[in-house]
Structure 1
Amino acid sequence: MFTTRPTLQGTFGMASSTHWLASATAMAVLEDDGNAFDAAVAAAFVLHVAEPHLNGPAGEVPVILAPAGSAPRVLCGQGPAPAGATVDHYRGLGLELVPGTGPLAAAVPGAFDAWMLLLRDHGTKTLAQVLSFAIGYAEHGIPAVERIGATIAEVQELFETEWTDSAAVYLPGGKPPAPGALLRNPALAATWRRVLAEAEAAGADRDAQIEAARRVWSSGFIAEALAAAAARPTMDTSGERHTGTLGLDDFANFRATYEDPAFHEWNGWTVAKPGLWSQGPVFLQQLGLLDELPEYGTPEYYHTLIEGSKLAMADREAWYGDGATVTLAQLLAPEYNAERRKLIGERSSEELRPGSPGGLAPRLSAYARSQSAAATADGLGAGEPTVASNGGTRGDTCHLDVVDRWGNMVAATPSGGWLQSNPVVPELGFPLGTRLQMSWLEADLPNSLVPGHRPRTTLTPCLALRGGEAVMAFGTPGGDQQDQWNLHFFLAVALREPVRGSLDLQGAIDAPNWHQESFPGSFYPRVMSPGVTVVESRIGDEVIGELERRGHRITVGGPWSEGRLCAVSRDPETGVLAAGANPRGMQGYAAGR
């Protein structure tokens, strides 16, 4: 099969990410005798500089890690709603949805603490060693990719008239950076240098320094600056200026946590995902619906996957969140899957059809029930963030995977804290995030806005095992599309022959992909487009014609427009490592040897 690049193979280490400099950074750490976890942390901080329109230090991250010889774990870097973030407060402001930008949309930032916990518990490098790459790029500049300038151009007027501190960083010379122009962020470099100075003041012990850095974030100058930023009236997508609810106690009370993954077995594979606070179980539910899968790549194959995706995403709306009243065991039960599978007919469904696991009645928001959001798109598109003039965005994110010569493996999907999410805090060089926009302003739903509850995130890294050993880490940006694109990639790996003895990672990444939109989107303004499926034109006229005959409302995108996947793998028998990366957008890259 033709691929855009070879699947890389080697025995020393492999890294794949959504930006080539993050992948190169990860490899530099591996070459310096760091392990996969050291490499992932260093690469993550570089992504803040290289893809500031897709993630930032005050964002969030879920991580799946598989230390060599140990069971996989999930590290949750998704912060909760602040103590003052209640439905009554937001409704009292005349809001029906959490705004898509501004401090009202800010959850407690969770990514930094998660990366520090990963470094402390599983890494070997010092904080100074892993931060050195990001400090260098922020100080001396990084060549801007096309999407940075395009995103800034969309919000240029907002930056110039309202978010002037953002303009100071992202409109150098009064205009968005051109592709390849050096983009500097000296304030961010200074922030990390100050964190290092305060951490090193705690003594020479590596763990003590990392713990000191965590305190700097949660109760030191960073917490103080971010809490002050949340208290400033800020223009958001409502068209009004609001202050947020995020306070110093919210920072002080948050710590990233470990938990067991959600697992599902399918045809000799075991897939591990984050739990019901993410959309990760959507992937597992889709697998659970696949009994006798039609031949790969046929119209029937795509129809089956699309309809199964609709059912899983409907369950996401009804059951996922920190307020969930069902268990994963109920949602993945064979008898429940068998009943749900019967709903996949010959024609496309345009209904939102959540199930009733355990006989419970599903709870959908009034917004979802009305299906009225489809007409409110305001020109917002899927994929990388498309931004309205008021800063509204259906945001995107980053992804990175690393495997080392010892067999340690990690997948992470950092996101949030985008340059278009909130004004840059001038003394820090980065803004707050907006993940609360995924919570509903309606009581008693699994994903209602509740203080201390995590907003149900779209972020969903993946780990696949065979025979109990981790063999593949993968994932993609893409908001609500993530576990649609992830599923198609996984099946393309699982159903096709290896190449040169390794999993065909690059072939599966390059395979034509799709996504459907028959559910309320997670990002403001929560768009829903019943029956709509977007496909890459390379999927072929035969498939497109047959899907349309079955009633699918097909939108044909560009030949390379769907999916942003990264992946690494390890063969437990031979120790051969492999990696592939997304060619779409000419940005993702794999590296290794």
Structure 2
Amino acid sequence: MFTTRPTLQGTFGMVSSTHWIASQCAMAVLEEGGNAFDAAVAAGFVLQVVEPHLNGPAGEVPVVLAPAGGPVRVLCGQGPAPAGATVEHFTTLGLDHVPGTGPLAAAVPGAFDAWLLLLRDHGTRTLPEVLRYAVHYAEHGHPVTEAEAATIGAVRELFTTEWTTSAAVHLPGGRPPAPGTRLRNPALAATWRRLLAESEAAGGSRERRIDAARRAWREGFVAEAVAAFAARPALDTSGERHAGVLTGDDLARWSAGYEDPVTFDWHGWTVAKAGPWSQGPVFLQQLALLPGDFDALEPGTAEYVHTLAEGAKLALADRDAWYGDAAEVPLADLLDPGYNAARRRLVGDHASRELRPGSPGGRTPVLPAAVRPGTARGRRPDAMSVAGAGEPTTGTPWAGQPRTGPDGATRGDTCHLDVVDRWGNMVAATPSGGWLQSNPVVPELGFPLGTRLQMTWLEPGLPATLTPGRRPRTTLTPSLALRDGEPVLAFGTPGGDQQDQWSLHFFLAVARRPAVRGGPDLQGAVDAPGWHTDSLVSSFHPRTWQPGALTVESRFGEPAVAGLRRRGHRVTVGGPWTEGRLCAVARDPATGTLYAAANPRGMQGYAVGR
């Protein structure tokens, strides 16, 4: 199999992330004696500086962690809806969707508290030791990538005319920064320095000082600045200026926390995911839906892609009918073998163009009215006017990824990082939200708020209905896999609704392929041609769907594309390197050998290790 890079091998430590600077900073922490959790926290804060269009301090992060010799846990860094974020408040404003940008869409920030809780409970380094890398790059500047420059350019007019506090940070000299130039954020550096000062002033143990920083964020100067700025009206994707409802009390009442993962066993593997407040169980449902003869299918063929795409549609339809934090989710029934056997029989030789949620435990599924088939609102011509069967489409549809900016046309996205150390500690994390294009920058702090409430519905009675104190259902979904009870593989990807599609394709490539050069072929699995279906309800504003839509990389070749079209898929052929942005690390418990690989697409994700 062709690979762009080798799968890294070593015994000391391995890091993979979506930005080379974050990977190297994490490795520096390992070299100085820190463990995988110390390294992950350092990388997480660096990503907030070097990929500000993909995540930020006021965003969120789910983490799946496996301490050496201990149980796998999930750390939830997804903040809930504020107390004032009621359906009635939004509908009184004349809204039928939560805007995709602006302070009204802001949930309680979750990333900062989650990273510090991970450091306190599982790390060994002090906060100044892990935060110094991010402070350095905020203070002295980071090299701007092409994607970051393009994002800033796309929202230049908005920043100049409306979000002027953002222009002060991201438009130096009044112009978008050119790729390769250095962009500084001294206000963010000053915020972190003040948090460090208040932390150190508390004195006492390492843990006590970390908790002091958490209090300064949730109850001190950060909470005060966030609440004051959220109350100022700002232009959002509704075309109107709205104030937010996030308050200091909302920040003070919430903290990150741990929970058990949801797991599923498949062919000797156990995959651990976050619960249905994320889309993590979609990955597990796709495994449960695989047919018994799946191993006989050849990767890259039309039959292989068709089988996985149809299974993804069924799992994602269940997500849209059943997942959320506002009502009980029948997760055991959704993963039940009998339920999935019945669902599997829905997969035929022809591509489905329907949303077909199931009835776990005999319950009646309810889709949001905005996408419910047969209703006036459920027929969205703009979203459904894709090419007919057998007709090629051009370009790449981005319905399954966050869209931000003044008109909702600018894409947001996500980061990912994985770390494994010589002691066997392993962690996977998917930070996102708080993008530079999501909200105006809070001038005293140097970062914007997030917009995760856009993933809720303003329709009562749904599992994902906007509900104060409940988490918006997120697409963020890191993965950790075990063999014989031992953690062996941590992986994940950016990509919104595509995350659990691309991650599954990667995992199956690793799980089904014989070892290469004595270890797993991580890089080959990352580099393999990718695809995704958009025949799903987008999790992001404006919540459209594209029945039968399937996007594949051009490296699949005409025979596979033609075969998919014959099966009724509405195929878009994208560029040769456009699908998937995987990161992965692995460990062989028998030998202690460590492995890592990273995505070449976008030319900024890198693995490092020795």
**What range describes the TM-score normalised by the shorter chain of this pair?**
over 0.9
Instruction: Tell me what 1:184 maps to.
Output: 184
Could you tell me the TM-score, scaled by structure 2's length?
Answer: 0.96
Amino acid at match of 2:346: L
| Aligned counterparts of 1:588 and 1:60: Cα–Cα separation in 2 | 20
- Tell me, which stretches of 5 or more residues in structure 2 are unaligned? 386-395
Q: Deviations over 1:185-236 (max 9, x none)?
A: 0000000000000000001421111000000010000001111111001100
2:609 corresponds to 1:592: yes
Deviations 1:94-136 (A, max 9, x none): 0010000001100000111100110000000000001100000
Deviation at 1:392, TM superposition (A): 5.1
Q: Over aligned residues, Cα RMSD in angstroms?
A: 1.4
**Structure 2 residue aligned with 1:343:** 346
Q: Please give the alpha-carbon distance, in whole angstroms, between the structure 2 residues aligned to 1:300 and 1:286.
A: 16
Q: CA deviation at 1:173?
A: 1.3
CA distance in 2 between partners of 1:189 and 1:114 (Å): 19
Deviation of 1:71 (Å): 1.1
Shift of 1:327: 2.4
1:77 aligns with 77
* Deviation, structure 1 residue 371: 3.7
Aligned AA (2:598): A
**Aligned equivalent of 1:357, options 337, 355, 360:** 360
Distance 1:412 1:122 in 2: 14
* Partner residue in 2 for 1:96: 96
Shift, 1:385, TM fit: 6.0
Within-5 A mapping of 1:394-473: 394-473=411-490
Structure 1 residue aligned with 2:335: 332
Asked whether the 8 Å contact 2:300–2:529 carries over to 1, the reply is no
Q: Could you say if the C-alpha distance between residues 194 and 288 of structure 1 is closer, same or farther in structure 2, counting changes exceeding 3 Å?
A: same
In the TM superposition, 1:243-392 aligns within 5 A as 243-291=243-291, 292-293=293-294, 294-369=297-372, 370-373=377-380, 375=382, 381=398, 387-390=404-407
Q: Distance in 2 between matches of 1:107 and 1:373?
A: 28
- The match for 1:105 is 105
Give the residue type in structure 2 aligned to 1:366: A
What is the CA distance between 1:297 and its match in structure 2?
Answer: 2.5
Q: CA deviation at 1:501?
A: 1.2
CA contact (8 A) 1:323 1:448 kept: yes
How far does the alpha carbon of each residue in 1:156-192 deviate from its partner, in whole angstroms, 9 at most, with x for none? 0000000000001000111111111001000000000
Q: Matches of 1:280 and 1:205 in 2, distance apart?
A: 36
Deviation at 1:376, TM superposition (A): 5.4
Secondary structure of 2:90 counterpart = helix
Task: Give the structure 2 partner of residue 568 of structure 1.
Answer: 585
C-alpha distance 431-374 of structure 1, shift in aligned 2 (>3 A)? farther
Work out the CA distance in 2 between the residues paired with 1:84 and 1:393: 28
Code of the aligned partner of 1:530 = P
Q: Within 2, Cα distance between the matches of 1:245 and 1:251? A: 12
Partners of 1:101 and 1:392 within 8 A in 2: no
Partners in 1 of 2:192 and 2:266 — Cα distance?
44
TM-aligned CA distance change 1:96 to 1:169, over 3 Å: same
In the superposition, the TM-score normalised over structure 1's length comes to 0.98
CA distance in 2, matches of 1:377, 1:578: 43
- How far apart, in 2, do the equivalents of 1:373 and 1:244 lie? 29
Q: 1:195 and 1:355 mapped to 2: Cα distance?
A: 48
Shift of 1:323: 2.5
- Mapped partners of 2:430, 2:222: distance in 1: 23
Amino acid across the alignment from 1:206:
R
- Work out the CA distance in 2 between the residues paired with 1:377 and 1:550: 19
1:581 paired with 2:594, answer no
The secondary structure found in structure 2 opposite 1:201 is helix
Task: Say whether the 8 Å CA contact 1:283–1:483 is kept in structure 2.
Answer: yes
Amino acid at match of 1:364: L
Q: Contact 1:374–1:527 (CA<8 Å) still a contact in 2?
A: no
Give the distance between the partners of 1:311 and 1:177, measured in 2 at CA: 43
For 1:451 and 1:394, locate their aligned partners in 2 and report how far apart those are by CA, in whole Å. Answer: 27
Provide the rounded CA distance (Å) in 1 between the counterparts of 2:400 and 2:466.
Answer: 26
Counterpart-to-counterpart distance in 2, 1:552 and 1:110: 39
Aligned residues with identical type, % of pairs: 71
Contact (CA 8 Å) 1:391, 1:420: kept in 2 or not?
no
On the 8 A contact 1:383/1:396 being kept in 2, the answer is no
In structure 2, the residue matched to 1:555 is 572
User: 2: distance between equivalents of 1:265 and 1:580?
Assistant: 24
C-alpha distance in structure 2 between counterparts of 1:393 and 1:408, whole Å = 38
CA positional deviation for 1:391:
5.3
> What is the CA distance between 1:372 and its match in structure 2?
3.3
Deviates more, 1:389-398 or 1:317-326: 389-398
One-letter code of the match for 1:287? Answer: L
Quote the Cα distance in structure 1 between the aligned partners of 2:268 and 2:397.
40
The answer on whether the counterparts of 2:371 and 2:544 sit within 8 Å (CA) in structure 1 is no
Q: Residues 98 and 436 of structure 1 are in contact (CA less than 8 Å); yes or no, is this contact kept in structure 2? A: yes
- Residue by residue over 1:367-417, the C-alpha shift from the partner in whole angstroms, topping out at 9 and shown as x without a partner, is 111443461599973687665543554531000000000000000000000
Contact kept in structure 2, 1:51 and 1:148, CA below 8 Å: yes
Q: CA deviation at 1:527?
A: 1.8
In the aligned structure 1, how far is the partner of 2:381 from the partner of 2:244? 28
Report the AA paired with residue 141 of structure 1. Answer: G
Query: Shift of residue 306 of structure 1?
Result: 0.3
Letter in 2 for 1:327: P
Q: Kindly tell me the number of residue pairs found equivalent between the two proteins.
A: 593
- 1:186–1:429 CA contact under 8 A, matched in 2: yes
Equivalent of 2:549 in 532, 538, 544: 532
Q: Distance in 2 between matches of 1:171 and 1:19?
A: 22
SS of the residue corresponding to residue 447 of structure 2 reads coil
What is the deviation of 1:325? 3.3
- 1:170 aligns with 170
Tell me whether 1:493 sits opposite 2:510 in the alignment: yes
Change (3 A) 1:410 1:44: same
Q: Is the 8 A contact 1:373 1:526 kept in 2?
A: no
- Report whether the alignment pairs 1:477 with 2:465: no
Residue 324 of structure 1 deviates from its aligned partner by: 3.6
Secondary structure, aligned partner of 1:62:
strand
Match of 2:38 in 1: 38
The residue identity in structure 2 corresponding to 1:317 is D
Q: Is the 8 A contact 2:60 2:77 kept in 1?
A: yes
